[in-house]
């Protein structure tokens, strides 16, 4: 498959992953029963699997052509942190305060990763 097509899939899954995470966070705060629907629990796993697969495929394809890999490593670490905070926000967090803080922190990490993608630097616009 062409690089541009996989990048398109990557961008689409990135957008859907954030949209789902945002909405599920609102439902978590409102204690909405919508959060427990079967498709709501399954779809994010499918999207995040596609996100990870497209990310690793892109990274593999351009790895040897890159002069500097720090930004890709920062993205991988960022993604692991984003997923971990997401689990705390929607599942593990013991109090509403912890869950909301984890939800907000996960979004900050998400935008950090997007910033790293655009600037190709772990320091974003600073470096």
Q: Which residues bind ligand HEM (CB under 6 A)?
A: 7, 10, 14, 55-56, 58-59, 62, 72, 75-76, 79, 82, 110, 113-114, 117-118
Closest CB to ligand HEM among 37 and 49?
49
Question: Which residue number, 32 or 119, has a Cβ lying nearer to ligand HEM?
Answer: 119
The 3-state secondary structure of the chain reads CCHHHHHHHHHHHHHHHHHHHHHHHHHHHCCCHHHHCHHHHHHHHHHHHHHHHHHHHHHHHHHHHCCCCHHHHHHHHHHHHHHHHHHHHHHHCCCHHHHHHHHHHHHHHHHHHHHHHHHCCCCHHHC
Instruction: Name the residue nearer to ligand HEM (CB basis): 28 or 55.
Output: 55
- Closest CB 56 distance from ligand HEM, rounded Å: 6
Least CB distance to ligand HEM at residue 87 (A)? 14
């Amino acid at each position: 498959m062409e690089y541009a097509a996989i990048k398109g899939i990557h961008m689409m899954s990135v957008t859907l992953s954030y949209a789902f995470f945002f909405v599920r966070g609102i439902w978590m705060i409102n204690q909405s029963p919508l959060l427990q629907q079967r498709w709501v629990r399954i779809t994010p796993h499918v999207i995040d699997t596609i996100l990870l697969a497209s990310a690793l495929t892109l990274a593999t394809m351009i790895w040897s052509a890159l002069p500097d890999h720090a930004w890709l490593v920062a993205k991988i670490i960022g993604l692991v942190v984003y997923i971990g905070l997401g689990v705390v926000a929607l599942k593990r967090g013991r109090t509403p305060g912890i869950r909301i803080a984890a939800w907000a922190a996960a979004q900050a990490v998400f935008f950090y990763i997007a910033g790293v993608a655009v600037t190709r630097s772990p320091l974003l616009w600073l470096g």
